[in-house]
């Protein structure tokens, strides 16, 4: 398991819960105010968190690979 | 009525979920940063040891072995440098997490709370005719009620909150974490967006300006302003920090590190499409500070012009 995997997994799990809660909210909150909230506040989570998770996963993988090469050479 | 109540309850649940994820995000990213720094130190130490061993091989018979060790250390250092682009992207992610946790999350939660209050207000008006109501959000430990235009909310769970307010004026009193930390604070928020938040060791006075802009000052000497377009300026006496930016993509940071007696100037640029961002940080000795500030001033000017252009567009 990669060094950064635990915090990455925790962010992933928290984000999934937030997405589920947002979906539940959208079921009962369907009006222009909800649309505006989605555009102004929620969308940035959708844009930024997956990218953060991708960066962390890529860094984790490369860090493990580099560490193995440095230590085992 | 039942549909609106369900909506009010769900907004509260979402507000809590968003708030807790906002704080947890920064916490987990900081943990990842600590782990990364530790690993990098370990790897650098390992390479230094290899070089040190080579330096101690001074005799003629050890010359070849010393050369091999130096070559190995060079290859290891080169491997380590391959991480730099990913580390730079991680640093940007770290900053974005900080932005999400410290600015975007409170803004979103406040917006949810305002919507919640507006729906409650509507229900209160209905309720004057229809009679008192009480709702319990199953599984969340939140109980809220409205009687003749007054609202009360009790939340029992990770922390205990008691909130009593007049929904019409958005004026309320909050007592939080009564059982767990004995930390009691009061919060008053006027309908116009003025806020007074008193915590155990500090207070914050804030005001929401028109269209989502905000300004605030805390007792610890932090002044923060933000425009609706996302530009912000933060001055912290405690941290000796000036942070100015436009969203998370264009900005500069000026901070002093007391321990090392150095000043750090940061510049970040981004938003060129495809989510590309870049960050440059320069550490300068105090003697070079004047020059460094001259270098930073065009950035501040550019930010000002950028903000004006945004306003014209909107």
Q: Which two tokens stand for residue B230?
A: 């996302």
Distance CA B105, CA B196 (A): 19
* 3-state SS class at B173: strand
Residues B238/B294, Cβ–Cβ less than 8 Å = no
Distance CA A3, CA B218 (A): 37
A71 with B75: Cβ contact below 8 A: no
Q: Which two tokens stand for residue B245?
A: 């930016």
Query: In this predicted structure, what is the pLDDT of residue B156?
Result: 56
B82 with A58: Cβ contact below 8 A: no
pTM score? 0.56
Taking contacts as CB-CB distances below 8 angstroms, the residues of chain A near B25 are: 11, 14, 49
Does residue A50 carry a pLDDT above 60? yes
Per-residue burial over B246-260, b if 16 or more Cβ lie within 10 Å, else e, is bbbbbbbbbbbeeee
Q: Which two tokens stand for residue A30?
A: 């369907």
Query: In this predicted structure, what is the pLDDT of residue B211?
Result: 47
Number of H helices, E strands in chain A: 3, 0
The single residue listed with the structure tokens 């770290």 is B94
Compute φ and ψ for B39, nearest 5 degrees. -65, -40
Count CB atoms within 10 A of the CB of residue B57. Answer: 16
Q: What is the dihedral of CA B309, B310, B311, B312, to 10 degrees?
A: 50
Count CB atoms within 10 A of the CB of residue B216. Answer: 17
* 3-state SS class at A29: coil
Distance CA A48, CA A54 (A): 10
pLDDT confidence of A64, banded at 50, 70, 90? very high
Q: What is the average pLDDT across A43-59?
A: 95
Chain A residue with CA closest to B14: the answer is A21
Which site among A16, A33, A41, A58 would you substitute to test the B interface, given the most B Cβ atoms closer than 10 Å to its Cβ?
Answer: A41
Taking contacts as CB-CB distances below 8 angstroms, the residues of chain A near B87 are: 59
Query: In this predicted structure, what is the pLDDT of residue B127?
Result: 55
Partners of B153 in the beta sheet? B144, B163
Q: How far is CA B149 from CA B1, B179, B226, in A?
A: 15, 29, 33
Number of cross-chain residue pairs from A and B with Cβ atoms under 8 Å apart:
118
A70 with B25: Cβ contact below 8 A: no
B81 vs chain A: nearest CA distance in angstroms? 10
Out of B46, B86, B87, the one facing A71 most closely (by C-beta) is B46
Q: What is the average pLDDT across A12-30?
A: 94
Sheet holding B203-208, edge to edge: B186-189, B194-198, B203-208, B214-218, B222-226, B231-236, B241-246, B250-257, B262-270, B277-285
Out of B31, B79, B97, the one facing A52 most closely (by C-beta) is B97
Query: In this predicted structure, what is the pLDDT of residue B100?
Result: 93
* Higher pLDDT pick, B177 / A68: A68
A14 with B21: Cβ contact below 8 A: yes
Distance CA B214, CA B244 (A): 15
| Interface predicted TM-score (ipTM) over 0.90 | yes
Q: What is the average pLDDT across A3-28?
A: 95
Residues B169/B163, Cβ–Cβ less than 8 Å = no
DSSP B237: T
How many residues would you count in chain A? 73
Show which residues on chain A lie within 8 Å of chain B, measured between beta carbons: 3-4, 6-8, 10-11, 14-15, 17-18, 21-22, 24-25, 28-29, 33, 37, 40-42, 44-45, 47-49, 51-52, 55-56, 58-59, 62-63, 66-67, 69-71, 73
Residues B212/B224, Cβ–Cβ less than 8 Å = no
B104 with A41: Cβ contact below 8 A: yes
> What averages of pLDDT result for each successive group of 10 residues across chain B (314 residues)?
78 91 94 95 93 88 90 92 94 93 91 83 60 47 55 57 50 43 43 50 54 60 65 68 62 58 59 48 57 58 56 53
Which site among A20, A23, A59, A68 would you substitute to test the B interface, given the most B Cβ atoms closer than 10 Å to its Cβ?
Answer: A59
């Amino acid at each position: 398991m990669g060094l950064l995997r635990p915090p990455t997994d925790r962010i992933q799990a928290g984000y999934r819960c937030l997405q589920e809660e947002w979906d539940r909210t959208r079921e009962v909150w369907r009006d222009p105010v909800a649309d505006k909230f989605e555009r102004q506040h929620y969308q940035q989570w959708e844009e930024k968190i997956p990218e953060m998770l991708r960066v962390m996963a890529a860094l984790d993988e490369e860090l493990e690979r580099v560490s193995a090469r440095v230590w085992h050479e | 009525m039942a549909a609106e109540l369900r909506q009010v309850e769900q907004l509260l649940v979402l507000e809590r979920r968003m708030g807790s994820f906002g704080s947890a995000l920064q916490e987990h990213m900081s943990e990842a940063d600590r782990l990364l720094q530790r690993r990098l130190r370990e790897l650098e130490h390992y390479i230094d040891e290899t070089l040190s061993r080579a330096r101690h091989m001074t005799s003629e018979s050890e010359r070849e072995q010393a050369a091999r060790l130096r070559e190995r250390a060079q290859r290891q250092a080169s491997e380590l440098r391959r991480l730099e682009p990913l580390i730079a992207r991680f640093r940007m992610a770290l900053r974005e997490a900080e932005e999400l946790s410290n600015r975007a999350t409170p803004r979103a939660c406040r917006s949810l709370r305002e919507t919640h209050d507006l729906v409650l207000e509507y229900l209160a008006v209905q309720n004057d005719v229809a009679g008192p109501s009480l709702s319990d959000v199953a599984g969340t430990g939140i109980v809220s009620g409205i009687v003749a235009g007054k609202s009360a909310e009790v939340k029992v769970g990770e922390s205990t909150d008691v909130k009593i307010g007049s929904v019409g004026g958005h004026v309320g009193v909050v007592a939080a974490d009564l059982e767990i930390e004995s930390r009691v604070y009061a919060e008053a928020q006027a309908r116009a967006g003025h806020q007074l938040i008193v915590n155990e060791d500090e207070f914050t006075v804030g005001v929401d300006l028109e269209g989502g802009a905000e300004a605030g000052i805390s007792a610890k000497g932090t002044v923060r302003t933000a425009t609706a377009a996302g530009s912000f300026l933060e001055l912290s006496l405690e941290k000796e920090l000036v942070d100015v930016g436009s969203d998370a993509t264009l900005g500069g940071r000026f901070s002093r590190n007391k321990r090392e007696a150095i000043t750090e100037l940061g510049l970040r640029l981004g938003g060129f499409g495809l989510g590309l961002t870049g960050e440059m940080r320069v550490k300068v000795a105090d003697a070079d500070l004047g020059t460094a500030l001259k270098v930073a001033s065009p950035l501040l000017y550019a930010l000002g012009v950028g903000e004006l252009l945004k306003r014209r567009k909107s």
